[in-house]
Each structure stands twice: as C-alpha cells, then as structure tokens.
A and B are shown apart, each in its own frame.
Chain A
Amino acid sequence: MRVVSLVNGSLLSEAASLYAINYARSVQLPLTLLFIDNGEESVEKLHLSVASLKELADAQEVEVETVILQGDMLTQLKHFEQLYAIDTLFCATRKLSQSHSFSEKIVRAGLETAIAVVKIKNLPQVRSYHRVMLAAGKAVNPHAYLLWLGLLADEHSLGKLYLQNSRSASKASTKSGLKYEAAPFVQIAKMLNQSVEVVNSMQPVDPEEINAYLIANNLDLAIYDANAYSQKMLNRITDESSVNSIIFHPWKV
C-alpha cells in the first residue's frame, strides 16, 4: 500500500502534497509523487517542486519515490492504480468550483482507491495547522476518520468531529444517537492521546453556518466526507470558505 500525491510542479499540488506527507507519516506508508506528463506542464518546475517535497518528507522520515508517466492523464492513472495498491490519492483542485475540473474527472473515473481532493485557500495554514474538523454527516466513515486522525496526529492538534443529522431533529434521542455514533471513534482518539471534541448539529446543512463555525472556532483545515453531503453542497461550502479543505471520497467497494 502507498499514499499517492499527484504533482505537476504548481504551488497547489505542492501544498496538497504537504498534507499527503503528513498523512503518509501517520499511517507509516511510503509516498509516491506521481507526475503524468501530458506535455502541458513544465518538467523543470516539477523537479524543483519534487526536490522541495523530498526535503520535507526526509525531515519527517517519510519514504518518497517519484514516478513520471507519459500519456493521457486518466488512462495512465488507471493503469498505475491497477498495478499498485493505493491507500489514498491526493490531488489539488485549482478551480474554485470543482465542476468540470480535472479532480472531478478523477473522482468519476471509478478508481479503486480513496481520493482526497485538496482545495487550498490559505497557504500559511498548509504548513502550520492546529485545529482540524471532520464533517462526517450522520455517520463516521472509518477511512475519512483515519485521514482526519492521521493529519491530527502529525501536528498534535485539536480535532473537531462535526456530526449532522437534521432529519430527526425533532427526536430528542437523536442527539444521544449521534453521540453514540461518535463514541467508539472518540475512544480510539483518546487511546492515541488525541484531543477530540464532538459537535452535534441538528440543523439542516447550511454552507453559511458551517463556514461561520470554521471561522468562529479558528479552524485551519476542514475534511468533508463526500458521501455525507451532496456535491453541490460541498462545492458551495468549500468555494465560500476561507479555510483549506479536503473533500474525501472513500472507496466504495
């Protein structure tokens, strides 16, 4: 198994790879920096970026290899994914809204791997993040949880587990239900000496509300489980946000 980060020498792909390095370190997997040369990107820039990333990965004792493939991006990616087992594929998205973006094509390509689409809004916070939120919807996905915990573990940060269930808002038992849902995950975090808070929202999903929550709580990174929210909603939340975000698409068997 390996963690893969798609790179092209750009500022954004480098920033996304920094999260990949932190995650790879936590889950103790090697990191592959994958560049698919389709003739559009500068190889010179790539080498500079890879050198910088290797330096950072070495400092964190993360094993790094660089793979350069040539040809159509999706075809090569599928080919690579068939040859190697991938834990999570990190890719940055440049478009403010993901629709018609390359990251969207990757998500829809049916790859047998989890995909973390990184949207950067605040560059300084990529290198230094302390408060990370996982917006998990009404149930916590273990792989999304792993990514969140992995990114937390690296910086000894505070984690916020944001659970949401508006449908049963009128039922008093829902709140305790949500807490029950979170309980084993909180226990795991405690066992790993991670500081975790659970937030139960009984309101319908509202991008304004989530973004206001991120700012009011001084959060540096938000991870969204893509299965818990609609794509349209996620686009609105992350487009309007001033905080870096990772939209995590768990692999559905």
Chain B
Amino acid sequence: MLFKQAPEQVLRSLKSSETGLSHAEVVRRLEAFGPNQIRQKDKKDYRIEYLKEYLSFFPILLEVAAILALVADHYQPGQGNDILAYAVFGAVFLNANFTFWQKFKADKAMEALLKLVKSEAKVIREGQVQTVEASQIVPGDILQLEEGDKVAADAILLSAHDIYLNLSVLNGESTPSARQMEAGEAKRELDAKNMVFAGSSITNGNGHSVVTTTGDATEFGKIARMTAEVVTTQTPIEKEIRHMTTVLTLLALGVGLVFFFLGWFSDRGLLISAIFALSLIVANVPEGQLPTITLSLSLASQRMARRQALIKNLNSVQTLGSATVICTDKTGTLTQNEITARVIHLADGSEVEITGNGYFGSGECQFKKQTSSQSEHRLHEFLTVAALNTNVSLDAVEKKVIGDPTEAALVAAARKCIEVPELEKLKEYAFSTERKLMSTLVKQGDESLLFVKGALESVLPLCDEVQAESIESLTQESRQQIEEQNRKLAEKAYRVLAVAKKSGDGKDQLTFLGLIGMIDPPRKDIKQAVAECYSAHIKVTMITGDNPVTAKAIAEHIGLRVDEVLTGHELDGLSNTALQAKLKHHHLLFARMASAQKLRIARLLQANGEVVAMTGDGVNDSPALKQADIGIAMGSGTDVAKEAADMILLDDNFKSIVAAVEEGRTVYFNIKKLTTYILSSNVPEIVPYVLQFFLKIPMPLSVIQILLIDLGSDQLPGLGLGSEKPEKHIMQRPPMSKDEKILDWEVFKRGYFMNGVFEGLAAMFAFLGFLFLNGWQYGDLSIDSEFHRQAMTMTLLGAITCQMANVFTLRSWEGAIWQLTSINKMIWFGVATEALFILAVLYVPPVQTVFNTATVPLENLWLLVPFPILLVLNHEWYKARQRTKWQRRPSM
C-alpha cells in the first residue's frame, strides 16, 4: 500500500520529487487523470434541450394543428388558414424560445455561483511555490499545507508539524484528528494517519504532502458519486404543470372532436368541420400559459435570491410552499455560529458577565458578584491563562478566524476585558479527544508556567489547589461546589471550560482558576421566524451534532416546541415503525446526530406524508438533501452539498428558509390566479364559435384574434399576477397538501363558470349589440366585409376589456380588491399595453390587416362598459362570501 511506504519511496512511485513536477509533466498528467474536480452531472446539450421545447405534448399538438391548417389551405385557399398556420407556428416558436431562455438563464446563474466558490491551493512545481486553481492539481504534485487550508486532493504527508485535520465532511466527526508521519495500523487509506484528504481542512499546523489521487478517485469524490445514486422525484410543480397541460389539452381535444362530428353529421363537409374543430382547439389550448408560469417562477426565484435564498431549480419554488416540516441544523442556521463567552465563575466565588456578541464585537466584563478586592486581579489572570493557551488567530481587519471557534471566543473575551500580555510560548500540548484538555508552557520572567484548559472532568482531577482569596487546598466540598456550578452552566446551554495553571515550582498538581461559559447565541429575530412557522402549520425539527442539553436549551430559548430529545444512539435503537410514530405525533429534537442519520429521518418523514425541507452543509449531508423534497444547502457549505440541494441559503439563516416558504406559497397562489385569468379568456374565445355553429350569425371572432388574446394581450397582465407579492395571511394558513392541484375545481369554477361567463357575455353582447345597432337582421350571413370586421373587433374588445378588469379582481385570491395596499407595477404596465393594443386594432391599418379588425365608431364603444364592471362586482361578492364561510370554520 502506497501510504505504508517511506516518503522517498512514495515520491519515487509517483515519479515526483521534493521540488515537484515539471510544467510539461503536469500537462501530461492533467490530460491523463483529468481535472481535480468532482464530475458534475453531464453538461446539458443545449441544442437537444432547445429541441425538446418543440417536442413535448403541448407544442406537438399545436404543430399538428398548424399542419392541418396548411393542409386545409391547400384544398381551400384564401380562407385565411395559411395565416392561422403561420400564427400557430409563430406561437410555438415564441413559446419554445421563451421557455428555453428562462431555463438557460437559470442554469447560467447557477454556473456563475459555482464559479465563485472555486478554491486554490499552494503547490511546489519546478522548485517554486505556486498558487494554482485546485482543479489543476495532479497526482505527484507537492501540496503545501497550512493552518486554515482546505485540502485539495488526497495526499501522503512528506513532512508534518502538529497537523490537525477536520474530517467532518468525510466522516461527520467534528473533533480534529491529529496527523503524523507514520500510517499506523491503518488497513485502508481513510484510516491512515499520514494522509490528508480532499475536502477536509487543516485546523492546526503545517507541512508538505504528495498528491496520490485527484477528482472522483479521492475519498471525497467517492461519497459525492454515491450521492448521485439517490433517486430524485418529480417536484409538485412539475406534476402540476403536467396535470394542467393534460387536462386542458384533453378538454380542448374533446370539445374539438365533439364539434367536428357535429359539423360532419350536419352536412357541413369534412374539411369545414375539421377547420372549425381546429379553431376550437386553438381557442381552448392556453398557449400563453407555460411561458407565463415559467416567468412567474423565475421572478419568484429572483425575489428569493434578494432574500438570500438561491433557487437552483425553478420548479422547487412551489415545493417550498407545500413544506410541512423543516429539518434544520442548529449551528449557523438557528444560531450565529460565533461562539461567545458570556460568563466567568472565578474560583474565589466571583461571577463575571461578558457583554457583546461575536469575535469582533465590542463588549466588557461586569462583575455580577465580587467576593474580594483581589477579584479583578484574579479575572485578569484567568483571562490571560485562557487566551494564551490557544492556537487561534483573529484577523480583525478581514474579520476572519483561523482556528477553533471555541478558542476564538476565549481570545475575544480576553480582548474585551484586559490587555493580554505577550508571553513566550515554550511548548504546546495540543488538544486530544483522549485527554480532553490542552496545555501550553509559557515563560514569564524566569519562571515557566503551564496553562491548562479543558472539560472540567479532565481538568479538576489534576488540580489540588484552588485560587480563592489566596491559594487554598482543593477540598472535597469545594470540588462538589465547582461541579455544581459546571452543571448549572451546562443546563443553561453554556459550553463550559475549566481553566487552571501550574507554576514552575516543581509541583505536579494544578491550581484551579475558574470556569468560563460560552454560548453560540441565537440569530436575531429567530424566535419570530420559528413562531411564523408554527402559525403557518409547519413543524420545525432541529437535527444537530451538538449535545442534547445545549440543543434543548437553545430550542427552548428560540421557542422551538420539543416533546422529546432523541440522540443518535437512541435513534439507532428505534425501529422504523417506532420512529415513524414518534415523528408523527411528537415534536422531536435530534441531538448528537451523524449526518448519515438525516437520510433515515427524511425518508420516514416522507413516509408519514410530510413534505420535507432539510438543511445541510457537509458531503455526508448530500444524500439527505437529495432525498428531501427540498434540500437546502448552506452558502458556507461544501460544493457537493450545494450540488445536491435544490436551494442554497446564501446567509445560512433560518429566517431565509421561512422567507422562501412564504415566497413558495405565494407562487402557488399566483399560478392559481394566472391560470384562472387565462381560463377566463378561453370562454369568450369558445362561445362565439359554439353560438355561430348553432345560430345563424356571422363568425364573431377569427382564430388570429384568439391568438392575439392568448399570446398578446393576456401575457403581461398574466405575468403581473404571477409576480404578486405575498398576501397578508399567507403564513397563517396550512401548507398546501401534496395532492392539492393548482388546477382544481375552484380554478375551473372561477375561470370558466364565473369570470369566463361574464367575458363570454361581454363578447357576444358587444358583437350582437354592434350588429343590431347598425341595422343587421338576424339570419343575414352575407354582410359587408368591413362591417363584419368591425363586429369582430367589438367581440375582441369585449374580451380584452373584461380581462383588464379581471386582472385587478384576481390580484387577491381571498381578499377584497380595496384591501390591497401594494401597487403591482407589472399589472399596470400590462393594462397600459392592453390599452395600446386596443388603440392599435382600432386605428392602425397594418395592425388591422394582420388581425382582421376595423375602426369602430366611438358612439358604439359604450357596449364594452357594463360587463367588466359586473365581472368585478360578482367576483368580489363571491370572495366576500368565501371569507365569511372560512371565518365560520373552526380555527386550525
């Protein structure tokens, strides 16, 4: 095994040397082994992706319709079927381009984000230290390792000085692991103590190593590849869009077929019946719906990005709205991830409170209890010992911490309260999991002092004296008192460290100086965000690697409901059935959890019918992120987690998840609104055809005019509805059920049978009203072409003016129009565009030629006024009745 060989042998095997590889050799190896990066999913072939936009069910239907129109034009030229065909082809083209462009833009935005997180590494090549992009590292490269570095590839150590490696991304273990020059008893690479691994980070020390494996072949790469195995399911919105498209298309086909056969059997001829059926199909298929939904989702994802939640997949936006459980990490998500020292219990009985949050914030020490005049001196000594017995560097300018966060908290506390003296460090005994303490030998004048800090259970047995008013022997009673203080601090969620020292007077035992309590403070406004989740009927489950006492204390502090705390060990002892039952009926808190256990929790929650949002940051979290209905990676997390997730939290903040849920719910209702809006305009498009079939009237609307509504005037206002801001009570209602369809009976009812009916009436009232006012007699089908075009223009305007009113009343799904406080600029812009459309079809000759319209005398335009008003009044009355019904319902 390579890692068992001596360093010089390893170099020889890898054909490398202490001075590194030559540039030519790097190029050759890069060609052979590929770049040092985890293989992303196969890059999309955008040509194929573009073609797909023409080959799904919806566009194929329109394409067939257009071809049929061309066939019809071939047999019956001059009937306008060629224009219809080209218009439908144009609609398909626009639709495809628009949808493709949105997807393309979303992909590019993600690529740009991933480029931002590219890392670099220091290597020695041709004897020179160089900083290169991590992806350019090859086997045989000599990697320089320094404190704070993220390791770029798997490598064997050639030299090591106190190297500690954080391997949590690979094994979930957060305690740094010491490295040495010998492999130890290891049988596999991951256990070899003389190796460092890609994805891990150096928490302490420095050294050199030679790269053995890169990219997918690294241990990190193997886990990442395993992640790809978890099957991803269709998101609710994907299912919804499919469902909607199928229902509407089948409806269109059904209506078309019925009228085709009716026409055929009533001796209208095969071709005329086919063209008629075709027109009905075109009228019924909501051509503009897909691009409007896509754009609406895209706008929502942009709004979410402004709220620090980056959505990778547009379709995931709505899934967020259905989330019933949020499984969240504690550190960094609910808390600030800046451990802050809050309290010091000195051995003389004094109690000190430290103010100010974070590593770089201001603050001071305030005595809450001062037992002697020497207490200030004792505090100075305590903080000096605590701050100098660390191996951390705080860069106040770049606000950067290199090293352990707990140690950073100690240094920050000392800096707030005292002027930390500079003493020469003679030796450092690093923290180890076995000893659970760290000590540093320092020189003060001629004297050597040993500073010690660690868990109380490790430090106290080594002490025989205590620094009370003077140095006293540590009695059994005072030991018990100290242990009691330690327990009380731990119960309040403090991470407690004991501090002691030893003078160089030949003594073996230590002098106990006191205890310091640190806490990772909850994020600002987190309590409110948690409360918002509960009012939105969303369960919040904390899953943390931290200990149960701290986790529970934080949970209580931020208002998280906890019925039971389960540790990772206890979880392993529970059967799936038992855990599933607990998850269903209790508010659980999971502590001391390994990342791998998250996957099981996610699966069982899903088995309970929950829609799960899960946070994570490590490589080990990736399978759970993929399994969850919506995986949320932390912005500070690993690339693999980001790749597996559906959403990335740029600020790691729980509040941003809640904001994203709000946006998700808003999107759900916005799509409902815009679908209703689009369905409403189908009625005035269908009714004229149906009436013309049964009554002796001229054709009230041409197919090109139908397309003008669907792909022209409806688009911008529809988009406006898609970009509506969250409604007032959106976070006080339960999540949408997984089975709840956007296209439900409510949408059909409001679209087709309520607002649509008014629009149909408006169109026919305008058409027939105009004809009768201008002397037309019922049954006269041979009317003048100009007169016919004017009448058709009235039908068109009847539909458009109703849609202009419809868009305002649909702005709120449940609330009254006059209660809306926000202004939707997009809707106003859309309505203004519609007004321009109206003017254009009335007065611009080229537009009139294309759309078969004509100028209508102003005195006839009053025909357009009554029905939009009636539509709004009726819909508002309906919403008011619904509100009354809901208010009578028992509260949830």
Contact = CB atoms under 8 A, between A and B. Distances in A.
Contact of A124 (B28, B31, B212, B221): B212
A120 interface: yes
Contacts of A242: 215-217, 221-222, 225
Given A10-B28, A124-B189, A212-B228, A240 B39 contact: yes
Most B CB within 10 A of own CB, among A11, A128, A211, A212: A11
Interface centre among B12, B140, B215, B229 (most CB of A within 10 A): B229
Interface string B203-221: 0000000001101110001
Nearest to B2: A124
A216 B229 contact: yes
A30 B598 CA distance: 55
A18 B39 CA distance: 28
A215 B32 contact: no
B226 A216 contact: yes
B225 to A, nearest CB: 5
Interface size class of A (residues with CB under 8 A): 20 to 34
A14 B14 CA distance: 10
B34 A96 contact: yes
A156 interface: no
Contacts of B28: 10, 94
B799 to A, nearest CB: 51
A121 interface: yes
Interface in B73-98: none
Contacts of B222: 215, 242
Contacts of A12: 32
Contacts of B13: 123, 127
Contact of A122 (B15, B213, B226, B228): B213
Contacts, number: 64
A124 to B, nearest CB: 4
Interface string B1-43: 1110000000011110000000000001101111000010000
Nearest to B31: A94
Interface in A232-250: 240-243
Contacts of B228: 208, 212
B495 to A, nearest CB: 38
B139 A96 contact: no
Contacts of A78: none
Given A212-B228, A212-B229, A242-B217, A121 B33 contact: yes
B154 to A, nearest CB: 8
A147 to B, nearest CB: 22
A10 B140 CA distance: 12
B225 A215 contact: yes
B229 to A, nearest CB: 5
Interface in A186-227: 208, 211-212, 215-216
A95 interface: yes
A44 to B, nearest CB: 13
A180 B124 CA distance: 55
Interface string B621-653: 000000000000000000000000000000000
Nearest to A12: B32
B42 to A, nearest CB: 9
Given A95-B32, A216-B226, A242-B222, 4 more contacts: A11-B140, A14-B15, A124-B189, A127-B2
Closest 8 CB pairs of A and B: A242-B216, A124-B2, A122-B217, A242-B217, A128-B1, A11-B15, A94-B32, A121-B217
23 contacts: A11-B14, A11-B29, A11-B32, A11-B139, A14-B15, A52-B12, A95-B32, A96-B31, A96-B32, A96-B34, A120-B32, A122-B213, A123-B14, A124-B1, A124-B3, A124-B189, A124-B212, A124-B213, A128-B1, A215-B222, A215-B225, A216-B226, A243-B217
Interface of A: 10-12, 14, 49, 52, 94-96, 120-124, 127-128, 208, 211-212, 215-216, 240-243
